[in-house]
């Protein structure tokens, strides 16, 4: 035994000071290894759709209903099961609805409590009592523990439990207790949640989604390109700030910035009304559903154009300041002939569909006007000083990364940059070359420098790399040769709108390519997968979320309403429980009110991706590997006690 091992055992002895305590911990850990593996829930590309996301989270992509089926089998009809499921998802709202028609509420409370208790027992059965107790709501922890734990010492168990339930009802606490049990079932039915990126943009509820995730019990996040641009904005990167505001304007979500995050947009609105007064801004109409008045719509489209022009100026400045990004071809304002009202791209001249650029100086097209500079200065201060936004970004930093290896699965949002042959593409970052896993690790480091570096040079590199990850052709979160935002706004010819994808997207059906990616990240055993999102699966055109014989699972199926007309569904989610993996395809979500009233779920079908030959236990997971290591260390400590190397306290 060397000095380091001896010192480590001494530290362990402080936690387990006797043979008895060390032995007990070994027994406890060994018992955990044989419990069923907890359920993992994978969700991606939420894009601000809070209500649909909240519903999927509440029902665990059908996991709650599955537990109800297991518990009650044919003893309850489908309608009763559906009503019970809806109650678990929305307990308070469902009880209010029941109370309008139910004449004997005490009887309803009694029946419902017994049913919830049975479901609760089932979902708690795969965890240790210690873990379940930590999840119990404080107000009812003791009572729930009594009701879901078998009492061998109680002679007449039926009377014992009957009296507890009767008392809960008689003292007027039935509704609060039902709510507590329902939330506990939601909490226990999913052990760990994976968010594979793009929480932000398009939908209007990203701030509410982040609030929900802040309090979630077990979570990891793989950053998406839309999350990264928000992180850049929060870090003070001005091109990212302009991009975030532009996308909110484009989808009619400026209210989320103002009301959700308290970002003052009055300076932008005032400037837009002055600079673009009389401009119809026809290319800057908003997308999505909204309830804006005509005057609000007119203001919105002027703000949309104003911030878009500012964005193109700031991006032009950035690509010239960072020649190493190799994006000079994306600085387009100097390619415009302002007299002929045309733009020349790749040697071809195109007429502009919007010819009004009142703030652009043709001699210095990327220089912000004095008013534009003032708008950006105030926006930068607002983003930097928004406590709620910074709290949400801290969650992304603490729980997030560009990729995650978890229980033999490789999780990331976009792609692994590849060349045409399927080999890892070598990318230059500030003078150093990276590829494969090393590229992900390097970019992850730069992202964190944007927030935490003390060296101003490294901090500035980190801020600018956030914009690079958003839109560079070599970014694993973008994966296209260009972001044709300018072309879509100003050029009618759709050939200029085409964004060529990285070869990754056409090569992921080749097993040699996929196996090489898995190997690069330390995987490659049986039952390993790549799980990612980013590109919607066009289900109605026959596309499948399962690629490469099931080794690759692309689970973005159109959570965002903006995509659903193309995909034909409202997104895929993935469940990985002790029996295997199951894809869940979702129907468009109407509203929580409709779901409560009609008892509807939004999962339309479940497809088994992989059925394991034997039920997985904790010992088969990453956590199980860590527990086994801990057991070995404790066994070494026991040996040290028994050999006299370390003395019991």
Q: Do 259 and 348 fall within a single domain?
A: yes
Q: Do 292 and 371 fall within a single domain?
A: yes
Give a yes or no: residue 599 inside a domain: yes
Q: Do 143 and 261 fall within a single domain?
A: no
Question: In the chain, how many domains are there?
Answer: 3
- pLDDT value, residue 410: 97
Which of 390, 424, 459 is the endpoint of a domain? 390
- pLDDT band for 593, please (50, 70, 90 cuts): confident
Task: Encode pLDDT of 381-431 as tens digits.
Answer: 999 999 999 999 999 999 999 999 999 999 999 999 999 999 999 999 999
Of 38-52, 466-480, 525-539, 589-603, which range is least confident?
A: 589-603
Task: Encode pLDDT of 205-244 as tens digits.
Answer: 999 999 999 999 999 999 999 999 999 999 999 999 999 9
Give a yes or no: residue 611 inside a domain: yes
Q: Do 638 and 602 fall within a single domain?
A: no
| Residue 356 pLDDT greater than 90, yes or no | yes
Give a yes or no: residue 107 inside a domain: yes
Residue with structure tokens 């990729």?
A: 403
Give a yes or no: residue 483 inside a domain: no
Task: Encode pLDDT of 636-649 as tens digits.
Answer: 999 999 999 999 98
Query: What number of CA atoms fall less than 13 Å from residue 642's CA on the CB side?
Result: 10
| Residue 288 pLDDT greater than 70, yes or no | no
Give a yes or no: residue 503 inside a domain: no
- What would the mean pLDDT of 422-450 be, rounded to a whole number? 97
- pLDDT value, residue 133: 92
167 backbone dihedrals φ, ψ, rounded to 5°: -65, -40
Q: Of the ranges 296-300, 385-389, 538-542, which is most confident?
A: 385-389
The set of residues, in sequence order, having a beta carbon less than 8 Å from that of 42 and lying 6+ positions away, is: 194, 196, 411, 531, 555, 573, 574, 575, 576
Of 89-103, 236-250, 300-314, 568-582, which range is least confident?
A: 568-582
- pLDDT band for 606, please (50, 70, 90 cuts): confident
Q: Do 270 and 163 fall within a single domain?
A: no
Give rounded-to-5 percent helix, strand, coil for the chain: 55, 10, 35
Give a yes or no: residue 54 inside a domain: yes
Q: Do 286 and 366 fall within a single domain?
A: yes
Residue with structure tokens 């309090």?
A: 215
Q: Which domain holds residue 569?
A: 40-196+533-616
Q: Do 236 and 119 fall within a single domain?
A: no
Q: Do 270 and 317 fall within a single domain?
A: yes
Strand order in the sheet with 342-345: 336-337, 342-345, 348-351
Q: Do 244 and 158 fall within a single domain?
A: no
- pLDDT value, residue 566: 62
Q: Do 75 and 27 fall within a single domain?
A: no
Strand order in the sheet with 409-412: 403-406, 409-412, 529-532, 552-554, 546-547
Give a yes or no: residue 130 inside a domain: yes
DSSP letter for each residue of 515-563: HHHHHHTT--STT-EEEE-SS---GGGT--SEETTTTEEE--S--STTT
Q: Do 231 and 343 fall within a single domain?
A: yes
- pLDDT value, residue 524: 83
Strand partners, 345: 348
- pLDDT value, residue 177: 96
Mean model confidence pLDDT for the chain: 92
Give a yes or no: residue 13 inside a domain: yes
What is the rounded distance in angstroms from the CA atom of residue 412 to the CA atom of residue 404?
A: 7
DSSP 3-state of 43: strand
Q: Any idea what DSSP says for residue 253?
A: -
Q: Do 181 and 157 fall within a single domain?
A: yes
- pLDDT band for 557, please (50, 70, 90 cuts): low
- pLDDT value, residue 555: 87
Question: Where would I find the beta strands (DSSP E) of 293-429?
Answer: 336-337, 342-345, 348-351, 400-401, 403-406, 409-412, 427-429
- What would the mean pLDDT of 156-161 be, rounded to a whole number? 77
Residue with structure tokens 């039920």?
A: 615
The set of residues, in sequence order, having a beta carbon less than 8 Å from that of 331 and lying 6+ positions away, is: 315, 316, 319, 320, 366
Which of 332, 356, 390 is the endpoint of a domain? 390
């Amino acid at each position: 035994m060397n000095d380091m091992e001896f010192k480590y055992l001494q530290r362990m002895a402080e936690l387990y000071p006797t043979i008895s305590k060390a032995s007990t911990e070994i027994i406890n850990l060994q018992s955990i290894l044989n419990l069923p593996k907890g359920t993992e829930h994978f969700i991606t590309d939420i894009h601000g759709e809070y209500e649909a996301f909240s519903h999927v989270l509440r029902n665990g992509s059908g996991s709650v209903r599955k537990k109800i089926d297991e518990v009650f089998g044919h003893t309850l009809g489908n309608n009763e099961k559906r009503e019970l499921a809806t109650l678990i998802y929305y307990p308070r709202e469902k009880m209010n609805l029941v109370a309008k028609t139910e004449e004997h509420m005490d009887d309803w409370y009694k029946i419902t409590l017994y049913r919830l208790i049975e479901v609760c027992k089932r979902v708690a059965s795969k965890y240790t009592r210690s873990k379940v107790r930590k999840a119990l709501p404080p107000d009812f922890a003791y009572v729930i523990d009594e009701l879901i734990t078998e009492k061998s010492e109680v002679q007449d168990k039926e009377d014992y439990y009957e009296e507890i339930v009767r008392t809960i009802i008689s003292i007027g606490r039935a509704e609060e207790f039902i709510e507590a049990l329902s939330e506990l079932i939601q909490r226990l039915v999913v052990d760990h949640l994976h968010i594979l990126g793009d929480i932000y943009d398009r939908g209007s509820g990203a701030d509410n989604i982040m609030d929900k995730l802040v309090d979630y019990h077990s979570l990891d996040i793989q950053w998406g390109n839309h999350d990264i641009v928000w992180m850049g904005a929060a870090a003070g990167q001005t091109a990212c700030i302009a991009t975030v505001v532009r996308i909110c304007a484009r989808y009619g979500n400026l209210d989320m910035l103002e009301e959700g995050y308290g970002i003052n947009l009055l300076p932008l609105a005032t400037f837009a009304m002055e600079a673009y007064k009389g401009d119809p801004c026809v290319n800057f109409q908003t997308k999505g559903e909204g309830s804006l008045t005509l005057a609000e719509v007119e203001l919105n489209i002027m703000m949309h154009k104003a911030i878009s022009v500012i964005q193109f100026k700031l991006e032009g400045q950035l690509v010239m300041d960072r020649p190493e990004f190799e994006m000079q071809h994306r600085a387009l304002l100097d390619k415009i002939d302002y007299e002929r009202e045309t733009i020349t791209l790749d040697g071809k001249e195109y007429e502009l569909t919007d010819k009004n650029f009142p703030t652009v100086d043709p001699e210095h097209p990327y220089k912000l006007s004095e008013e534009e500079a003032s708008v950006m200065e105030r926006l930068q201060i607002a983003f930097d000083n928004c406590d709620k936004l910074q709290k949400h970004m801290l969650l992304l930093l603490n729980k997030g990364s560009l990729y995650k290896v978890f229980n033999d699965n490789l999780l990331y949002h976009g792609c692994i940059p590849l060349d045409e042959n399927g080999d890892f593409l070598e990318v230059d970052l500030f003078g150093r070359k990276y590829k494969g896993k090393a590229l992900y690790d390097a970019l992850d480091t730069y992202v964190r420098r944007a927030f935490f570096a003390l060296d101003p040079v490294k901090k500035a590199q980190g801020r600018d790399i956030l914009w690079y990850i958003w839109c560079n052709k070599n970014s694993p979160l973008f994966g296209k040769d260009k972001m044709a935002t300018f072309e879509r706004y100003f050029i009618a010819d759709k050939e200029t709108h085409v964004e060529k994808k990285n070869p990754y997207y056409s090569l992921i059906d080749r097993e040699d390519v996929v196996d090489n990616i898995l190997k690069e990240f330390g995987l490659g055993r049986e039952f390993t997968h790549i799980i990612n999102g980013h590109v919607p699966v066009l289900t109605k055109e026959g596309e499948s979320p399962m690629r490469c014989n099931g080794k690759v699972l692309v689970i973005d199926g159109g959570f965002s309403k903006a995509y659903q007309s193309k995909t034909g569904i409202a997104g895929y989610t993935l469940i990985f429980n002790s029996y295997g993996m199951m894809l869940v395809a979702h129907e468009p979500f109407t509203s929580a009110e409709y779901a409560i009233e009609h008892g509807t779920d939004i999962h339309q079908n479940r497809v088994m991706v992989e059925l394991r030959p034997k039920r997985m236990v904790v010992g088969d997971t990453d956590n199980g590997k860590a527990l086994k290591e801990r057991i070995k260390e404790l066994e070494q400590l026991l040996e040290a006690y028994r050999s006299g190397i370390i003395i019991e306290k």
